[in-house]
Amino acid sequence: MADTPQHSDIIFYNTPTGDVKIEVIFNDETFWVTRLDAFLQFNEYNILKGAGKVSHDVAMKLAEKEYSKFTSKNPLHFPG
């Protein structure tokens, strides 16, 4: 089997409606998870072990609620 190059990308783009989107593509997730865990431990943050117990839907609702509170106090402005 031939070796295929591994790469990761961070892509910023505007949608047709003017929203700003960010996509992160990791081809070697183990490397990035290991680096992130090391960074968090170095800065004395707690790291969740395992998958956790919150469903995806509950986590998304909580994240959207917190993001809404944040953006109401800190509106984002992107040059257009």
**1 found inside a domain:** no
CA distance to 23, 29, 38, 49, per residue, from 35 (Å):
19, 10, 5, 15
pLDDT band at 79 (very low <50, low <70, confident <90, very high): low
Q: Has residue 79 been placed in a domain?
A: no
pLDDT value for 35 = 78
Q: Please indicate, yes or no, if residue 13 is contained in any of the structural domains.
A: yes
> Residue type for 52, please?
G
Strand partners, 12: 22
Which of the two residues, 1 and 45, has the higher pLDDT score? 45
Number of domains in the chain: 1
Q: What is the pLDDT of residue 41?
A: 83
pLDDT of 63 strictly over 70 = yes
Full residue range of the structural domain in which residue 28 is found: 9-73
Task: Say if 3 falls within a structural domain.
Answer: no
pLDDT band of 1, cuts 50, 70, 90: very low
% helix / strand / coil in the chain, to the nearest 5? 40, 15, 45
| Residue 43 in this model has a pLDDT that exceeds 70 | yes
